[in-house]
Amino acid sequence: MRATQHLDTRPVLTRTLAAAAASALLLTACGTSGASGGDGARTGDGLDGTYVLEGGTGPSGQVPLVATAPVTLQIEGASWGGTSACNNYGAEVEVDGDRVTLGSLAVTEMACVDAEVMASEQAYLAALQAVDEVSSEGDRLVLTGPDTELTFSRQGAEPDRALVGPRWALTELIDGEGPDGAVTSVAADAELELSDDGRLAGSTGCNRLMGGYTRDGELLTLDGPLATTRMACVDQAVAAQERHVLAVLDAGPLVVEVTGDRLTLTATDGRGLGYRAE
């Protein structure tokens, strides 16, 4: 067994990753101009809900779907947004009958390191900007436009999972925020479990890890050094993943964010780990 030193005790930023992403939105003129809503126009309140893309095509062809990086659409009146496989996006939208007018599209600037995720995002955003009609039936929502059709299914609200108890599977490595940030998919399976007796255990994708923790509200702090096994990580990508996991967990108090079945642990410097409950 080896132990890594738990050195960083600096105060942690209190904003969550979601809030940081929202504040990083850049209002780039990617869509049609303003959708402020004129007389007689409606905002499509009956469409409100959370949707997941099931399939689609756009001006650049088929929108490829990546199981670990779903495309989502959240509609709240005139505010439409979600996750475009990698980044968050949003726009003000005017709905008049079955006609749709998108305002300027705002997109965060996290780098999509995985080529498949990047291709999914680019194809989806291109298709979304071509949309000019909407239809819905039951839990099915369809957005159409020239050479474009996006089909979504409505999702029920996912209750936030408890931090303690579930087995959390690592899904992404987060490195910084804003234009210099990046989200990388994992190179090997890794997990994290926290028990109600203040112990945590899991793996980096190469080695096992274990230690103690203390939680104070949204802050999680390791109690002393984190212990790991000492297997050699021969694969360079797996070794890099292990370094990232250990660096984040050893970085001092971490901001904890649980949304539905997703867990994000964020360090002071913006590095983080994304997990999904299994």
pLDDT per position as a tens digit, 218-249? 999 999 889 999 999 999 999 999 999 999 99
The answer to whether residues 125 and 9 belong to one domain is: no
Give a yes or no: residue 22 inside a domain.
Answer: no
* 136: DSSP letter: E
Among residues 180, 185, 165, which one has the least CA distance to residue 244? 185
Q: Distance between CA atoms of 8 and 187, rounded to whole angstroms?
A: 27
Better pLDDT: 228 or 30: 228
Query: Which stretch of 71-75, 126-130, 152-156, 166-170 has the lowest confidence by average pLDDT?
Result: 152-156
**At residue 11, does pLDDT exceed 50?**
no
Is residue 101 situated within a structural domain? yes
Domain co-membership, 47 together with 113: yes
For 169-179, give one letter per residue: b (16+ CB within 10 A) or e.
bbbbbbbebee
**For the chain, what percent of residues have pLDDT higher than 70?**
82
Instruction: Report the range of poorest mean pLDDT among 8-12, 34-38, 180-184.
Output: 8-12
Judge whether 152 and 72 are in contact, CB under 8 Å: no
Q: Please check whether residues 143 and 99 belong to one and the same domain.
A: yes
User: 113 with 182, same domain?
Assistant: no
Are 109 and 197 within one domain? no
For the ranges 8-12, 123-127, 167-171, the lowest mean pLDDT is seen at: 8-12
Residue 25 has pLDDT above 90, yes or no: no
Could you tell me if residue 23 is inside a domain?
no
184 shares a domain with 146: no
Please check whether residue 130 lies inside any domain of the structure.
yes
Regarding whether 168 and 149 lie in a shared domain, the answer is: no
Alpha-carbon distance values, 111 to 176, 192, 215, 265, 273 (Å): 10, 25, 31, 19, 15
Domain contains 24: no
Q: Binning pLDDT at 50, 70 and 90, where does residue 43 land?
A: very low
Q: With respect to residue 256, please indicate whether it lies within any of the assigned structural domains.
A: yes
Query: Which of 22-36, 45-59, 70-84, 142-156 is least confident?
Result: 22-36
Amino acid at 81: G
Look up residue 187 and give its two tokens.
Answer: 């190179």
Return the CATH number at 8: 2.40.128.270
Same domain, 269 and 242: yes
- 105 within some domain: yes
Which of 115, 139, 155 terminates a domain? The answer is 155
Regarding pTM above 0.85, the answer is: no
Q: Any idea which residue has 């999972």 for tokens?
A: 161
Based on the structure, what is the number of domains in the chain? 2
**208-241 b/e (C-beta count within 10 Å ≥ 16 → b):** ebebbbeeeebebebeeebbbeeeebeeeebbeb
**What are the pLDDT digits (tens) for 139-173?**
999 999 999 999 999 987 678 999 999 999 998 89
Asked which of 132, 155, 178 is the last residue of a domain, the reply is: 155
The C-alpha atoms of residue 17 and residue 170 are separated, in whole angstroms, by: 16
Cα 68 from chain centre = 10
pLDDT given at position 37: 38
25 found inside a domain: no
- Section 255-267 average pLDDT: 93
Q: b vs e for 117-135, b when ≥16 Cβ sit within 10 Å of the residue's Cβ?
A: bbbbbbbbbbbbbbbeebe
Is beta strand 106-107 parallel, antiparallel or unpaired with respect to 133-137? unpaired
Q: Which domain holds residue 10?
A: 2-15+159-277
- Contact between 74 and 91 under an 8 Å Cβ cutoff? The reply is no
Query: Is there a single domain that holds both residue 146 and residue 204?
Result: no
Based on the domain organization, do 39 and 137 belong to the same domain? yes
pLDDT reading at 277 higher than 60: yes
Query: Stretch 264-271: mean pLDDT, rounded?
Result: 93
